[in-house]
A and B are shown apart, each in its own frame.
Chain A
């Protein structure tokens, strides 16, 4: 298990180095940065002085090394647009996105898994049939459409929930949270629901399909033949086997949630990293874009490693811990 963990961490480091390389290359695709830093009529000497001061006269791999060294301490330089440290900008925006994604992910599991089980256990019931139909709609409607519909119904027509922003937030250290105020929680409902809708329907359909598959297996038939209770068969014997593939998809989708958050944050003017990224793209603010890329990749890598570790917890066959198999 420890060896597995170390292997995974080494792999992750290589992935992050590659991502850092791509982020680093972005700076070069944008042309010679010196051009934008000196006056138009600067002499060659002046330009070289700037170049030297910024270390741009060094070989590329040295520059890359410096970029990685600084990035690993969280230093991505200054935003070109408003001359503030990128790390400060991101850390201001991170809590908003993190809370949104967390709530959306939680909702998709808390609603998706029970609905999936329900539709698998009673596939021909009316509720299961209508849930299947609804989920088809949920999975095929683009999220920005559902987002705008939600705003129309709950903000414009009914006036129950705010249509944009985070509401009142409370700062705890550097983290600003919307969990502690009523308006903050109300502001979370629509965007997190919009964000989780696709995941929710996906998880529901996946749980349903997996559960029905598992319920047909021999070990479930054998469990029935031993007179175990339905409760134990469904929730102990079947569900645990169902969750293994669900966790994979959920892990992959968690990354997707962060990516989709860009759309949600735009629709709801949610002050998160996605909105920051969209601004950065429209202004060509490369340091912010590079930092966003690295940060999101880091989150992906962490999630995937966690998922792999969770497998081992759920599926004993994957525990490569040297337990001998006797024959």
Chain B
């Protein structure tokens, strides 16, 4: 059974000139223990999808369509108190910047113990044991001593380990990691990614890994969803999507990764910019930048179609298959 299913999810924000859809018609699923990568450029809706799943869309925004199910039960329409109990306990989150994710005036231990005791019926001493255990599992040296120190006494990489411990300490089934390595040094990035992958394997937690780093996806994820202008344009196994991209946007993304070797005169890039949410064209949102643009692309929005192994939202695919 799938752990999480998101169906036809639309998140909208009321604006001065009518509502604006941050994400539109997003459908995806995550199996237990699976790592689903989500890629796309800034503003494509990756983080918004994560925020919707964990129920933390900033008002006045909200879900206007579709549903989210966790272990079969709908969670998109829960009352705030019921959703609060799910956050941390069933769905955890890891944020981008470890330097600002931890409360500066509380010790690491206080933050961990509070999180554990909020969700699990444990005595303070047991919660502390568990907190120390988690610090050890995320690779903090001498956790018995470090537990009583403050976040500013940790380096960036160490803080991100603490953030991961905080996200996992109540043993959620799913973790949404929103660009967990973007703010870190490259050498530390690899460590954090390796840690995430190891913990996912050990605990069986599923991970939605939001990133714009194709390298991280290739190394870590089992499946990948590519987002563009609030929609998923291509989703499938990492091997399928990265090695044989079908959507012109995915191909463009793959082609834009600089490679070590002889320097080309011009770096490969996708011409143009992603349309803003309030200025998306009627047809395919990628059409203005697409090298294979056809007439139909300007009139009709392509649907996400395909198999379990891979789905693509592009008129080219229909053309080919017809």
Contacts and interface: CB of A to CB of B under 8 A. Distances in A.
A229 B115 CA distance: 10
A218 B54 contact: no
B222 interface: no
B152 A317 contact: yes
Contacts of B84: 227-230
Q: How large is the interface on A (under 10, 10 to 19, 20 to 34, 35 or more residues)?
A: 20 to 34
A9 interface: no
B95 A316 contact: no
B86 A240 contact: no
A232 B146 CA distance: 23
Q: Is the interface of A mostly helix, strand, loop or mixed?
A: helix
Interface string A43-54: 000000000000
Contacts of B225: none
- Output the residue of A217, A218, A224, A314 with the most chain B CB within 10 A: A218
A225 interface: yes
B101 interface: yes
A316 B163 contact: no
Contacts of A317: 104, 150, 152
Given A224-B56, A226-B115, A227-B118, A314 B105 contact: yes
Contact of B92 (A225, A314, A327): A225
Contacts of B166: 222, 226
Contacts of B255: none
A57 interface: no
Nearest to A323: B153
B56 A225 contact: yes
A82 interface: no
Contacts of B103: 219, 223, 237, 241
Given A225-B95, A326-B153, A219 B102 contact: yes
Which 6 pairs across A and B sit closest by C-beta, in order of nearness?
A: A227-B88, A227-B87, A225-B93, A218-B100, A327-B155, A226-B88
Interface of A: 217-219, 221-230, 232, 236-237, 240-241, 244, 314-317, 323-327
Interface of B: 54, 56, 84-89, 92-93, 95, 97, 100-107, 114-115, 118-119, 141, 146, 149-150, 152-155, 158, 163, 166-167, 170
24 contacts: A218-B101, A219-B102, A221-B95, A222-B93, A222-B101, A222-B166, A225-B167, A226-B115, A226-B166, A226-B167, A227-B85, A227-B87, A227-B89, A230-B84, A236-B114, A244-B105, A315-B104, A316-B104, A316-B150, A317-B104, A325-B155, A326-B153, A326-B154, A327-B155
